[in-house]
Amino acid sequence: MIGCNDYDIPQTEALTPPSTNISIGELSRLVASDGKQISEELIIGGYVTSSDDAGNFYRTFTIEDTSGGAEIMAGIYELHNLYPMGHYVIVKLEGAFAARHNGVLQIGLAPKSYSSYPTDYFSSRPALDKHIFCYDVVKQLSPSQQSISSLGEQMCGRLITVEGVELCSALHAEGWQVNSEGTWSGYNFFRDAMGNEIVVHTSEYADYAEQKVPTAQVALTGVLHRGVADGEEYYMIKMRDESDCQILH
């Protein structure tokens, strides 16, 4: 058996990853607005691009191939030990459910009838080990370099970097959960030289939530999604840790 860590590994018997038969981008195009229960023997693969080590990602992790990104609704904790960043993951989709949330393709189980969310978590190691297989094939993906104006819906779920932006949360100070104290927790708005804005959303439970946000020009890296802040829809970046914000000199 082989996996990410010998002491705590998802079950897999293959020494090398099996071939995929559908890309993440192709799967995304198959998913209708109300989601898709997958009965076919479909397999996707991708490299892990997120980490819950700093607490900003919670019970989920993201993977990416050359065609797109997806969020795996794991539903358990300490995922950075099971699926470290850069490791290759195979997802066997038969029996899983795929849907979009905030523009991001999510893969998990079908939601309960009373749930307002488009997918449910796998929530247990046996369920995860049935679908998710992690290999000691490592490649640290470089984020896609983008401007705010170049962002598109098809990029949601992917790791991106936007450079040359400055904090402008004071312009949205009355918005719900917009941070007016200069720290990371909640929503922070950033603006480029053309006046385009992007939002960074940070969990109040992130290790760096109460750290000060730089007021200088910065480069922001994280997983892209869309969401509503201060009453309008924006592209948003979900950083993995505080180092995903770099001051430009």
Q: 28-84, pLDDT tens digit by residue? A: 999 988 899 999 999 999 999 999 999 999 999 999 999 999 999 999 999 999 999
pLDDT at 6: 42
- What number is the average pLDDT over the span 159-177? 96
Tokens of 13: 């018997």
- What number is the average pLDDT over the span 152-172? 98
pLDDT at 4: 54
C-alpha 123, offset from chain centre: 17
Nearest to 104 by CA among 153, 46, 42, 67: 153
Nearest to 112 by CA among 125, 123, 103: 123
Fold of 144-247: OB fold (Dihydrolipoamide Acetyltransferase, E2P) (2.40.50)
- What number is the average pLDDT over the span 158-187? 96
Q: How many C-beta neighbours within 10 Å does residue 171 have?
A: 13
- What number is the average pLDDT over the span 186-211? 98
Of 2.130.10, 2.60.120, 2.40.50, 3.30.43, the CATH number of 24-138 is 2.40.50
pLDDT at 33: 83
Model confidence over 125-145: pLDDT tens digits?
999 999 999 999 999 999 999
User: Could you give the 3-state DSSP secondary structure of residue 130?
Assistant: helix
pLDDT at 34: 87
pLDDT at 61: 99
Same fold, 24-138 and 144-247: yes
Question: 28: part of which helix (H) or strand (E)?
Answer: helix 24-30
Query: How do the domains of the chain map onto residue ranges?
Result: 24-138, 144-247
Distance CA(223)–CA(217), nearest Å, equals: 20
Q: CA-CA distances (angstroms) from residue 92 to 43, 101, 138, 148, 228?
A: 5, 20, 19, 34, 32
Least confident interval from 20-24, 105-109, 170-174, 205-209: 170-174
User: Residue 180's pLDDT band (boundaries 50, 70, 90)?
Assistant: very high
Q: What percent of the chain has pLDDT over 70?
A: 94
